[in-house]
């Protein structure tokens, strides 16, 4: 099956999650293309989609939201999974739950949405990002659980496997 993995990532942490998803799907026999949302113009030749984004201030990045809006009708005709990645250690978990996910998932008929812990490296953040992170009391470090990401991607691969007759 031809699968598009398209991930919006500002500092590379969420992109790394997408790479694990793509690699796991490839290992399970799928033809996988991974690209940023801004580079996706249509879904011609794509059988399934994994669309994901880093979460900033309780929202997906604009590039991922724009792709979902532009291609909602095409996405609705294919199996779609959504992923989000945000602060792993923030006390207020609701700030890591993108406001638009429920409506987006319904609009495209997503088969599921999974949130993963992220990575925080203050040295690559802008002043505004550092201020937001400080207010959120987030802990620096790589909190991504790549084994959990691979397990989730394996579940996607299982869901896309042809039924045995």
Domain borders along the chain are 2-160
Assess contact for 58 and 94: CB atoms under 8 A.
yes
Q: 44-53, 132-141, 154-163: lowest mean pLDDT where?
A: 132-141
pTM of the model: 0.82
* pLDDT for 161: 85
* pLDDT for 136: 55
pLDDT at position 85 over 70: yes
Assess contact for 14 and 118: CB atoms under 8 A.
yes
Beta strand pairing status for 31-35 and 2-8? parallel
Band (164; pLDDT cuts 50, 70, 90): very low
Q: What confidence tens digit (pLDDT) does each residue in 34-47 have?
A: 999 999 999 999 99
Rounded alpha-carbon distances, angstroms, from residue 13 to 56, 68, 73, 140: 13, 21, 29, 13
Rounded alpha-carbon distances, angstroms, from residue 50 to 100, 127, 134: 16, 31, 31
Architecture of domain 2-160: 3-Layer(aba) Sandwich (3.40)
Band (151; pLDDT cuts 50, 70, 90): very high
pLDDT at position 90 over 50: no
């Amino acid at each position: 099956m031809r699968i598009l993995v398209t991930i919006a990532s500002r500092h590379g942490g969420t992109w790394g999650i997408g790479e694990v998803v793509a690699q796991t799907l490839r290992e399970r026999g799928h033809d996988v293309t991974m690209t940023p949302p801004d580079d996706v113009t249509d879904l011609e030749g794509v059988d399934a989609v994994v669309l994901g984004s880093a979460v900033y201030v309780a929202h997906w990045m604009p590039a991922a939201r724009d792709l979902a809006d532009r291609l909602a009708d095409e996405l609705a005709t294919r199996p779609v999974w959504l992923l989000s990645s945000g602060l792993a250690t923030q006390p207020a978990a609701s700030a890591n739950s993108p406001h638009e996910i429920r409506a987006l998932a319904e609009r495209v008929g997503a088969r599921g949405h999974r949130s993963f812990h992220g990575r925080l490296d203050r040295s690559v953040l802008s002043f505004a990002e550092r201020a937001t992170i400080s207010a959120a009391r987030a802990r620096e470090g790589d909190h991504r659980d790549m084994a959990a990401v691979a397990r989730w991607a394996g579940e996607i691969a299982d869901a896309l496997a042809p039924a045995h007759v």
